[in-house]
Amino acid sequence: MQGRHDFIPTELKASYLQTLLACGFDTLDFGSFVSPKAIPQMRDTAEVLARLDLSETRTKLLAIVANERGAESALSHPEIAYLGYPFSVSETFQLRNTNATLTESLERVKRIQELTLAANKEMVLYLSMGFGNPYGDPWNVEVVEQWLSRLAELDIRIFQLSDTIGVSAPANITYLFSKLIPRYPDLDIGAHLHTTPNTWREKIAAAAEAGCRRFDGAIRGFGGCPMARDELTGNMPTENLFDYFGFAATGVDEGAFARAMEASGAVFLEG
């Protein structure tokens, strides 16, 4: 939702998220506790949360934060299980995204993790630019592993390798997951992939065959990646993940998901 220019009414956001909560996903990234000036669309995350009925869902809620203030706001809501933080392995992008160097961002993660653990919550660390970057900053499996290893020392256990600009391909997907997953069997290393309409299957297959079992998706691929070089590149469509794995393997209710697909149109396609 955060990329939409027109503000989506709070009640509509909550209604749509409620359909997603009925599907049986493991985790729902439902909002962000970030500066309203930076992302105006997410300024009502707390109000949206207050409207959600969580009494009959097994899905855990995840909120994105970018600093300690956001983490404190998120942790004031006991309904939230996970705090997501975008940590770039590209220094240039980290400065552009969070106005912090990698060293400063690492210290920020340490403080957020302390708050998170004290609240008996868990952090999900998104390794942005995980599949490469356009700035000429160093990128290879050793760079990604260096940061994953340092962050794991903070007792962070869930990492999403994130294709921030749409440069993931079977070769670099296999390259990363086949090296990292065997080396860190105690970590949950997942995939946050972007794709064009014709390349999604090969990307899912490369990650799955390399041992990845945690995948992010967005219904119909909504959201995209504004920095991608190809305007057809968007988030990995959730429905494509089900096409590849099947509903039975995921525990997601197919009928409920169909209703969520239909409801998404009112949020993203109208107005």
CATH of the domain at 230: 3.20.20.70
For 149-204, write each residue's pLDDT tens digit. Answer: 999 999 999 999 999 888 899 999 999 999 999 999 999 999 999 998 999 999 99
118, 32, 104: which is closest to 69 by C-alpha?
A: 32
Residue spans of alpha helices (H) in the chain = 10-21, 45-51, 68-75, 91-98, 102-118, 141-152, 170-183, 200-209, 238-245, 254-268
pLDDT category at 271 given cuts 50, 70, 90 is very low
Paired strand residues for 187: none
227 pLDDT above the threshold of 90? no
Is residue 4 a part of any domain in this protein? no
pLDDT band at 24 (very low <50, low <70, confident <90, very high): very high
How far from each other are the two terminal CA atoms of the chain, in whole angstroms? Answer: 13
User: Is 149 inside any structural domain?
Assistant: yes
Q: What does the pLDDT average to over 251-261?
A: 97
Q: Which pTM was predicted?
A: 0.94
Q: Has residue 16 got a pLDDT over 90?
A: yes
The contacts of residue 21 (CB under 8 Å, 6+ apart) are 28, 52, 53, 54, 57, 59
Instruction: Provide the residue type at 241 as one letter.
Output: L
Number of structural domains (the chain) is 1
Quote the crossing angle between the two packed helices 91-98 and 102-118, to the nearest 10°. 60
pLDDT on residue 4: 85
Element (H, E) at 195: strand 194-195
Average pLDDT of span 233-253:
94
When pLDDT is averaged across residues 82-88 and rounded to a whole number, the result is: 95
At residue 82 the predicted structure's pLDDT band, cuts being 50, 70 and 90, is very high
Is 5 contained in some domain?
A: no
DSSP per-residue string spanning 211-242? T---B--BGGGTT--TT-SSTT-EEPBHHHHH
Mean pLDDT computed over 112-125: 98
Q: Looking up tokens 């997410």, which residue turns up? A: 42
Percent of the chain with pLDDT over 90: 83
Domain for residue 3, yes or no? no
Residue 113 confidence (pLDDT) above 90: yes
| Residue 143 within a domain | yes
Q: What percentage of the chain carries pLDDT values higher than 70?
A: 96
For residue 218, being part of any structural domain is answered with: yes
Full domain range(s) for residue 159 = 10-268
For residue 170, is it within any domain? yes
In a domain, 207, yes or no: yes
CA distances from 180 to 101, 144, 146, 159, 253 (A): 25, 9, 11, 11, 31
Q: Which residues on neighbouring strands pair with residue 160, listed in sequence order?
A: 126, 190
